[in-house]
Amino acid sequence: MNSVFKILLLGGLLTLSSLHLTAQIPQFSNPIIRGGYPDPSICRVGEDYYIVNSSFEYFPGLPIHHSKDLTNWTLIGHGLHRKEQCTGRMNLVDVQSNGGIHAPTIRHHKGKFYIITTNVYQPKKNEPVQMINFIITASNPEGPWSNPVIVEGAPGIDPDIFFDNDGKIYYTGTHSPENPNFSGEGEIWMQELDAKTFQLIGERHFLWRGACQGTWAEGPHIYKKNGWYYLLIAEGGTGFNHAVMIAASNNITGPYEANDRNPILSSRHLSYDYWINSTGHADMVELPNGDWRMVCLGIRNEVNRASNMGRETLILPVKWEKEPYWWKEIKYNWPVCNPSTGKIEKQYPYFLPINDSTYEPTKQVYEFQENTLTLNWIHRRVPSKNSYSLNTKAGYLSMYCLSDTIKERSPYNFIGVKQKETHFETSTTMQFNPTINGEEAGLCLLQKDDNYILFDVKHEDNENVLRLVINAKKKNAILQKDLVMGKKYKSYIELKVIMKENKYHFYFRFQSNDLWELFDTASSDLLLSEGYTGTHIGLYATSNGKKSFNLALFDVFKLSYSKP
């Protein structure tokens, strides 16, 4: 065997060996928290990690996830889980669409967890929007969480809470400056908090208006590393130009010096068709070994550069580096996001030891055998009293035909879970005997109060009718198809929706041993998120304004996803 052939053979074997080793390295997939979970904030306690997200007009609010490995996350509770936390100035009862709970920060200090955030509430249309900034605390992140303490006199949104080494506590927020240089300019400000009352004390300091004179400097977080203070913010709005900026100072109240390489993370320089867009609004955490990770939000390009899920939680590695300049004084280390490529990848090698493999689609079956709903079931706004029960009939979710219907600021009777993938199959078994015109119940796919799909049974003109109602974006609800069921319907029906091949497919059957019958189809882009919140898949009941004591009984709800 000649030497050239040996070299080629050896090189080929090494390449194959390298490819084999690479293939054996286990990887996980972004997003790490799928569905509409934007504005992530993260903290670590020992070897445990916690993330809280914005919840806007949904209740319970402020979902909290836990992980041991930064990859597999479990929903463990909500910061706002009682009605009394969400009334009065904390109103989530009739909150407007895209209002409610914005951009929280979660931190742990001396055995206690803190969440600081904003409730954005507009009393009436054309009235000023109120920014209610507040703090809740808990000894256990699963709850119970305290009633909100409103931070009086704190303007703007997106607050951060920082505990310094000298015992002082600082509030860092976002507001619109008095003399903006351009429309949409934001300003980051800071003030000390009283440790007992959580009220602002002392002088207010104005820290930064952003790195690139971009709109909406917001979402601040303060970190301390090697004696320096770092101010991380979002900039550019929560769309394709979203970005993460950073500045540093040797004094917590500034002045702050911007990193010359800002933005440190964005997708604005990538194709609109890159797998993820609108990346921004980040938070960072240090691992026990001194490594750092960043979580942020992003929108998957699923259909027409958007998705049903809206903004989701992503993770990426961060490396701190010194500036390599010989002609200037080196002051800081700066974080470099995903140093190998500078962008968020769909897959990474696992950051920490794990037990599970890569992300697999989930199949969920709810049979309502317990006295409470699982944590992932949520309502759009605080639900009305006696809207549902798990005790009226054992093994069933009973939903009452209340008068409220799907409309802006209404606490209508909807219970659902977040959609986590574009392609899914959902079904339910319902016992429902409507007798008054207007009584209605069934499946509901809900993006917003003016953007939803109803596939349900309604009593109208003294007959029970199977209906498909579609309310497309910025349009009025239309009845796409209806079917008078007559004697075939004996108060029992199974409904199913399959999302595939760029269409929704609606099926029904009257007995569990019958063949499924296709009712109709509809376009897949009907419920694409505008980027703020994601679609929810669930159940709905109403009397359409009539006085009713009727209810619908659901004895199973199934939801499964195809591979992403």
Residue ranges in the chain whose pLDDT is less than 70: 1-24, 213-214, 326-328, 354-361, 563-564
Q: Where do the CATH 2.115.10.20 domains begin and end in the chain?
A: 38-260+277-287
Side chain identity at 80, as an amino acid letter?
Answer: L
Tokens 């959580």: give the residue.
198
The pLDDT score that the predictor gives to residue 530 is 87
Q: How confident is the model at residue 14, as a pLDDT?
A: 39
Please identify which of the residues 39, 158, 192, 439 carries the catalytic annotation.
39
Give the 3-state secondary structure of 137-154. EECCCCCCCCCCEECCCC
Residues 6+ apart with CB under 8 A from 563: 360, 361
Element (H, E) at 225: strand 218-225
Which residue type, as a one-letter code, is found at position 401? C
Beta bridge pairs of residue 303: 306
Write out the two tokens for 228: 């320096």
Q: How far apart are CA 224 and CA 105, in angstroms?
A: 16
Task: State residue 179's pLDDT score.
Answer: 85
What is the model's pLDDT at position 304?
87
Mean pLDDT (the chain) is 92
Residue partners of 240: CB distance under 8 A and separation at least 6? 267, 268, 272, 277, 278
Given the residues 158, 160, 187, 218, the one annotated as active site: 218
CA 95 to CA 129: how far, in whole Å? Answer: 11
What pTM was computed for the model? 0.93
Identify whether the C-beta of residue 86 lies closer than 8 Å to the C-beta of residue 58: no
Query: From CA 353, how far away is CA 188, in angstroms rounded?
Result: 38
Reply yes or no on whether 501 is catalytic. no
- Spatial CA neighbour of 234 closest among 205, 268, 200: 268
In the chain, CATH 2.60.120.200 covers 363-561
Residue 4 backbone phi and psi in degrees, to 5: -65, -45
CATH code 1.20.58.340 for 363-561: no
Question: CA 527, 531, 534, 540 torsion: positive or negative?
Answer: negative
Structure confidence at residue 360 (pLDDT): 54
∠ Cα 383 496 507 (to 5°): 135
Bond preceding residue 263 cis, omega within 30 of 0: yes
Percentage helix, strand, coil for the chain under 3-state DSSP, each rounded to 5: 5, 45, 45
Q: 471-480 pLDDT, tens per residue?
A: 999 899 999 9
Tell me which residue of 506, 512, 515, 520 sits closest to 490, measured CA to CA. Answer: 512
- Quote the pLDDT of residue 10: 39
Q: Is 456 a catalytic residue?
A: no
How confident is the model over 70-87, as pLDDT tens digits?
Answer: 999 999 999 999 999 999
- Whether 234 and 242 have beta carbons less than 8 Å apart is answered as yes
Question: Which CATH number, 2.60.40.1120, 1.10.10.10, 2.40.340.10, 2.115.10.20, labels domain 38-260+277-287?
Answer: 2.115.10.20
